[in-house]
Structure 1
Amino acid sequence: MNVEEIAQNWMDNCCHTIQQYDHESHMNLISKDVQVFGIPGFEVIGYEDWFSQCEYEFREKLIEKASYKGLKIRQSNDNQIMFLTHESVLATDGTTDSHPIEIVLSKEQDDVWRVSQERLLSDEEASHLGIS
């Protein structure tokens, strides 16, 4: 698979596990060393926070679906892929959380590609980087 296919496959699997409320499979897409930046009110979110939030949202069936629009590879090597996309999460109450995002996938020791970093982008930064 090329880097675009790896990134697209990860996004597809992420959306599928959310829609199926498959917490275990979803968390297998996330590195234990993950760091998420840019969420208002938080300096950084790590694996345990992500695990707990997903566990709650999946158990309560709070998310109807997630989707990604666009894919722009920024950098890649044999063990990491950095890309830009636009993420949307539709909650079961009808609200949508949508934002441009930078994602870093890392190929871990078990040869599984997992997200190791996410950074929510401002609309201005996303426009400058060519993703909106």
Structure 2
Amino acid sequence: MVGGKLAYWAFAGAVLVNLVLLFNPGSPGDPAPFVPHRDKIVHFLSFAAIAWTGRRVGIGPLVLGAVLAAHAVESESIQHFVLAHRSGDPWDVVADLLGTTGALVLAGRLPRGVAHRDAAVARS
């Protein structure tokens, strides 16, 4: 279980990795064609990591879910309209939302107080 300052570092790391993955101006290509839907899996896991670690630092599920849903839509819009060699994909948004929802549901199934205890430890 993540707790204390480590939880904040994990959250910051998840956000940073997500931003690099989404906004890298180069085309990622598909170096592993034998892994079907690799891009969707990466989207799912990246947003799930932010949602999970965000709950560990005490961010409320409604706020976190809303911010990540907006981020899913805006990131694909930026990829499509702003970044050369990238294109927006509505199915990536679906993968993002599924990853977010899955992590929030799992985090919500923790015994009451676990996420709050981690957040309290982190604030001390």
TM-score when scaled to structure 1?
0.33
Answer 1 or 2: which has greater helix percent.
2
Answer 1 or 2: which has greater strand percent.
1
Return the structure number with greater relative CO, CA threshold 8 A, min gap 6. 2
Q: Which has the greater radius of gyration?
A: 2
